[in-house]
């Protein structure tokens, strides 16, 4: 026992061994506890690398259709509003599935659940490449199945990383993991456009992805462990502090966690803008080039769209730099400013709003300035991806992090990118119907439908300011006894020890 104090065994009850008492003054035998779960550091980093690779493929699937959108519209003869519905179906199925996978991830094997999701989305993506133009409804349905598979991974993978790493190490690993959101999104555009140019058929872009995903599935099965929930915070012993709560109890707990609530609304604003931009920006930039006389209009497939490559490359570059800057700023400043993480998110979103507005209004006059402000807006937006994940992991107890991830994904997509591509396309179609049929008017309609994004992203900045008001309180509550985390009295004495969790056997030094 701590401090070298001894204790006497209590008198055993009637059911004690052989009905005998050890007598006064006898010391209790040391309690038997299960051996702590540990993992060599190199194994943890290999597992993180595999999860990052799968995250890359996951987000390539999200935006590969956007890279060949003009060809898809020509093949299936769909308008802007129906084209936006493609992404809405994808996100809608993802958000409906996320709570189910969050529930499974908190209670059953996370590796099995993620493996099932990869099989589901890769099979649906491959099948969709063989759908003929007569069955456009089936193509929409296949995108929904891809979204369902993606939900399993997006919900569970961050919680696995949260159970493998702690504190600054976790912040760095999450930064690398979330770098692959913009990188995967950008490569989705690039792959779709490049494969279409090389083969003359956009469908081959959907046939290449399953080969990469088969490799990912094998690596996941062989190299990624399934650590006990809360292993990082409890020195490998898993979550402690009471019986398994029900899903409704978890939801009630999260609903009272104001840091989680406000940060989720901030993520929703981010999702709204990234969904609309990610789906429509390549077409918007192509029509801007046509308006400037830099490219002829396209009336039949295959449509050559260099802006898919340009926008994809811009997304990759700004995403990598932005995620690294945001994570490093959070890691440095939260040591001196406890509320640094939500304040960084708020300031970056509030700065994104004017950049996005200027990118849109300057596009008809100077395309170069539009690209500059669009790139700056994407850079600021990308600063938040790793930081918001770290906020969730720090204010939510380990026993319901999967549910928290699922609810954040569900709310973010319901109010965010599930509807923003469709809403943007619908507004564009309504505005165009009232105007002369010309490329200039088509461009202006799409431009004006984008303007609501600048307002929404400013609201997201306000939500993160409110998150900062509750952050310290909710972090302290997440470490209270009986909440599925270590007893708060042990936090200080074990603080340094937790940082070395994955170095093999845990250190056994205690405070005097």
List C-alpha distances in Å: 132 to 137, 298, 452. Answer: 10, 22, 36
How much of the chain, in percent, has pLDDT values that exceed 90?
Answer: 19
pLDDT in tens, 104-122: 877 888 889 999 999 998 9
User: What mean pLDDT is predicted for residues 69-82?
Assistant: 76
Contact assessment for residue 109 and residue 102, using Cβ atoms and an 8 Å cutoff: no
pLDDT attached to residue 222? 92
Say if residue 464's pLDDT is above 50.
yes
pLDDT in tens, 261-275: 999 999 999 989 988
pLDDT attached to residue 477? 84
Superfamily of domain 39-229: MFS general substrate transporter like domains (1.20.1250.20)
Residues with Cβ within 8 Å of residue 423, at least 6 apart in sequence = 84, 276, 449, 452
User: What mean pLDDT is predicted for residues 357-371?
Assistant: 88
Residues with Cβ within 8 Å of residue 2, at least 6 apart in sequence = 510, 511
pLDDT attached to residue 466? 95
**Cα atoms in the 13 Å half-sphere on the side-chain side of 73:** 19
Q: Which of these ranges, 9-13, 141-145, 176-180, has the smallest mean pLDDT?
A: 9-13
Find out if CATH 4.10.220.20 is the number for domain 250-479.
no
User: What mean pLDDT is predicted for residues 46-53?
Assistant: 92
Contact assessment for residue 257 and residue 405, using Cβ atoms and an 8 Å cutoff: no
Of the two residues 361 and 282, the one the predictor is more confident about is: 361
Of the two residues 62 and 362, the one the predictor is more confident about is: 362
pLDDT attached to residue 26? 52
Of the two residues 77 and 260, the one the predictor is more confident about is: 260
Of the two residues 46 and 72, the one the predictor is more confident about is: 46
Please write down the long-range contacts of 434-439, taking CB distance under 8 Å and 24 or more positions apart: 439/287, 439/290, 439/291, 439/297
pLDDT attached to residue 498? 38
Say if residue 187's pLDDT is above 90.
no
pLDDT attached to residue 52? 92
pLDDT in tens, 218-252: 999 999 888 877 665 554 444 444 455 677 888 88
Of the two residues 477 and 83, the one the predictor is more confident about is: 477
pLDDT attached to residue 240? 41
Cα 349 to chain center, whole Å? 17
- What is the number of residues in the chain? 512
Tokens describing residue 39: 């993992």
Residues of the chain with CATH 1.20.1250.20: 39-229, 250-479
The per-residue b/e assignment along 22-34, b for 16 or more CB within 10 angstroms, e otherwise, is: beeeeeeeeeeee
Band of the pLDDT at 511, cuts 50, 70, 90?
very low
Q: Model's pTM, two decimal places? A: 0.66
Per the listing, tokens 């709204």 go with: 272
Cα 457 to chain center, whole Å? 18
Distance (Å, whole) CA 21 – CA 11: 6
Say if residue 211's pLDDT is above 50.
yes
pLDDT in tens, 330-340: 888 888 898 99
Residues with Cβ within 8 Å of residue 363, at least 6 apart in sequence = 284, 285, 288, 370, 447
Cis omega before residue 7 (within 30°)?
no
Task: Report the range out of 161-165, 292-296, 360-364, 398-402 with the highest average pLDDT.
Answer: 360-364
Say if residue 10's pLDDT is above 60.
no
Distance (Å, whole) CA 458 – CA 48: 33
Per the listing, tokens 């009471």 go with: 242
Distance (Å, whole) CA 493 – CA 263: 30
pLDDT in tens, 369-417: 988 999 999 999 988 888 888 898 889 887 787 788 888 888 887 888 7
pLDDT attached to residue 274? 87
User: What mean pLDDT is predicted for residues 416-435?
Assistant: 82
Q: Where are the alpha helices (DSSP H) in 362-438?
A: 367-382, 385-395, 401-412, 420-433
Average pLDDT, the chain: 78
pLDDT in tens, 299-325: 555 555 666 677 777 888 888 898 889
List C-alpha distances in Å: 102 to 94, 106, 152, 185, 347. Answer: 12, 6, 8, 23, 30
């Amino acid at each position: 026992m701590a401090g070298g104090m001894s204790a006497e065994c209590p008198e055993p009850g009637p059911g004690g061994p052989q009905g005998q008492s050890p007598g006064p003054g006898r010391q209790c035998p040391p309690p038997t506890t299960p051996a702590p779960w540990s993992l060599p550091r190199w194994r943890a980093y290999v597992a993180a690398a595999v999860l990052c690779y799968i995250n890359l493929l996951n987000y390539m699937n999200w935006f590969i259709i956007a890279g060949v959108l003009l060809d898809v519209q020509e093949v299936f003869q769909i308008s802007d509003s129906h084209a936006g519905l493609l992404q809405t179906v994808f996100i809608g199925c993802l958000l409906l599935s996320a709570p189910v996978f969050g529930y499974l991830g908190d209670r059953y094997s996370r590796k099995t659940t993620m493996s099932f999701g990869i099989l589901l989305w890769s099979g649906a993506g491959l099948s969709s490449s063989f759908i003929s133009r007569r069955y456009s409804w089936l193509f929409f349905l296949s995108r929904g199945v891809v979204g369902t598979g993606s939900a399993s991974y997006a919900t569970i993978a961050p919680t696995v990383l949260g159970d493998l790493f702690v504190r600054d190490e976790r912040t760095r690993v999450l930064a690398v993991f979330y770098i692959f959101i913009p990188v995967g999104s950008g490569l989705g555009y690039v792959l779709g456009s490049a494969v279409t140019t090389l083969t003359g058929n956009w469908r081959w872009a959907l046939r290449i992805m399953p080969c990469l995903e088969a490799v990912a599935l094998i690596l996941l099965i062989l190299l990624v462990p399934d650590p006990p929930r809360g292993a990082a915070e409890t020195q490998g012993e898993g979550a402690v502090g009471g019986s398994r709560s029900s899903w409704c109890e978890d939801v009630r707990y999260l609903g009272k966690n104001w840091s989680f609530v406000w940060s989720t609304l901030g993520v929703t604003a981010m999702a709204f803008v990234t969904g609309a931009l990610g789906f429509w920006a390549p077409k918007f930039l192509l029509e801007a080039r046509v308006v400037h006389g830099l490219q002829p209009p396209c009336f039949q497939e295959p449509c050559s769209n260099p802006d898919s490559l340009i926008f994809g490359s811009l997304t990759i570059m700004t995403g990598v730099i932005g995620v690294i800057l945001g994570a490093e700023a959070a890691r440095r400043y939260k040591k001196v400013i406890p509320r640094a993480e939500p304040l960084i998110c708020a300031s970056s979103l509030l700065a994104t709003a004017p950049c996005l507005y200027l990118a849109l209004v300057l596009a008809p006059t100077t395309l170069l300035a539009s690209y500059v402000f669009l790139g700056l807006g994407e850079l600021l937006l990308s600063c938040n991806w790793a930081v918001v994940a770290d906020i969730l992991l720090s204010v939510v107890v380990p026993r319901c992090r999967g549910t928290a991830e699922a609810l954040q994904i569900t709310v973010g997509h319901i109010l965010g990118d599930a509807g923003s591509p469709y809403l943007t396309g619908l507004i564009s179609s309504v505005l165009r119907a009232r105007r002369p049929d010309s490329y200039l008017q088509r461009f202006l309609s799409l431009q004006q439908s984008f303007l609501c994004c600048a307002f929404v992203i400013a609201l997201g900045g306000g939500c993160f300011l409110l998150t900062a008001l509750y952050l310290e309180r909710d972090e302290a509550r997440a470490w209270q006894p009986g909440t599925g985390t270590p007893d708060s009295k042990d936090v200080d004495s074990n603080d340094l020890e937790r940082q070395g969790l994955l170095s093999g056997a845990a250190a056994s030094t205690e405070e005097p």
